[in-house]
Chain A
């Protein structure tokens, strides 16, 4: 009797949680396949993929924005890794002079709200002609992603056993060859995790692009935002679903890439 009561309690709590987690997502999916839906009807009146054709029209704004988003995210990953891998390598080894101060400066963007910083960057970019350019948006995304990328890379390099590198040097490998054939391959899982993270952050980024990119650079989150505020819920829902795919995919795979402790550095 008590056991049965326990299962009823657990079942209803987990059921409630499932409703809270999936309810909002289900509402999004409903809007993505609705053609007509208004109050007081609880479900869409007409269903179909009419708006999908509109969103995925090869000449449409959304496809162009998706292209821009992916382009920006790819360049951001390259820029971030070029900066983060050497920095992570140096920070991962404890010999760096002034390490606490450097760490403090690198962590600052995590500790303070970024929004006021973005519109001040936009103001500076405006003066040097970077506002409304892909380069400007990439710089803002890279600065934001850098903190995470450096932290993950530093953790990856710190976990490498220095004896392995010493062994390579002892049997005659040069310093450069040791880095390329021993250190970097060992740090690769961490570097890959940084890359995926920076890519996702850039793809999903809204606030920085809103101040620095508008009106010339339109990314998918901006298309979604504009559609939502204009009341085009179908368009907003479909573009939101496109943004959801990589996010959910990474959530399902996260434990293959990172331990929970490493995640702590991500925020």
Chain B
């Protein structure tokens, strides 16, 4: 029996070695580099410098990613809720075929789409102008931190909505029907019956979306060139222009810290439930 167990371990070993060598080891290097000077002395200098130069960007990153996550959660709940509760089969089917389009579109392509769509002369402003809502001459487009949020929400909502609607569809319909028979509105059924039961799945989806957004480089560079921007851009700049790995890794540590609470919840739930959310 113990032979079979070690054979099983042998099967996992190569994959494990890969993650240890190409994720855990560089992660450790990054942590060490953040807390040491160029000569290898332990210090907080990198953090002082990072806060001094990029303090505003750290706040911006946190705000952008948090606001995006909240909006993604809101839209995913609305889409999932309508797909499960919607009374009109045609509208449900249209929504079902509509919301998923951005699911696998790469961030970099989403960024290029939005770079033109949200620009001063993009389709968004021109359409709003055609129906008389804005005057293109006087508006400036959304290519700043707002554009980053729009791109993130556009790209990440389908993923969370797919998870949430899948989980909602798998629930027992009896409670929903009982509530509907007692006269509860769709909104009330969504908030009081459906959402509490899929909260775990929703949480995992939102955490994965949150962590992914903290790591995207193309969207902030392509949507909002100027300052303030996200710390991913600052990290790339420190590394490429100054080979300053100390400050870059200090910013990296900040991004781990922002992701930390979510990461802990995600890992605990995933390991406890055996890899499933």
Contacts and interface: CB of A to CB of B under 8 A. Distances in A.
A267 B208 contact: yes
Contacts of B84: none
Interface stretch (A25-33, A53-61, A182-190): A25-33
B165 A260 contact: yes
B26 A87 contact: no
A84 B159 CA distance: 23
Given A42-B126, A120-B29, A139-B22, A151 B275 contact: yes
Contacts of A72: none
Interface in B176-213: 201, 204-205, 207-209, 211-212
B211 A106 contact: no
Contacts of A140: 22
A228 interface: yes
Interface residues of A, number: 97
B43 interface: no
A111 B98 contact: no
Interface centre among A95, A102, A122, by most B CB within 10 Å?
Answer: A102
Interface residues of B, number: 102
Contacts, number: 291
A14 B91 contact: yes
A206 B248 CA distance: 19
A243 interface: yes
Contacts of A139: 22
Contacts of B215: 113-115, 207
Nearest to B7: A90
A100 B275 CA distance: 9
B9 interface: yes
A124 interface: yes
A221 B108 CA distance: 7
Interface in A1-60: 10, 14, 17-28, 30-31, 38-42
B80 to A, nearest CB: 10
Nearest to A111: B263
Main secondary structure of the interface of A (DSSP, over half): helix
B163 interface: yes
Contact of A21 (B5, B101, B214): B101
Contacts of A236: 112
Contact of B113 (A10, A25, A106, A114): A25
| A-B complex: 8 closest residue pairs judged by Cβ atoms | A260-B166, A116-B252, A204-B106, A24-B113, A111-B263, A143-B22, A267-B208, A87-B15
Contact of A211 (B136, B163, B239): B239
A247 interface: yes
Contact of B255 (A26, A113, A204, A225): A113
Contact of A97 (B9, B112, B217): B9
A240 interface: yes
Interface string B123-161: 110110010000011000000000000000010000100
Contacts of B116: 24, 27-28, 30-31, 233, 237
A121 interface: yes
A123 B26 CA distance: 9
A97 B88 contact: no
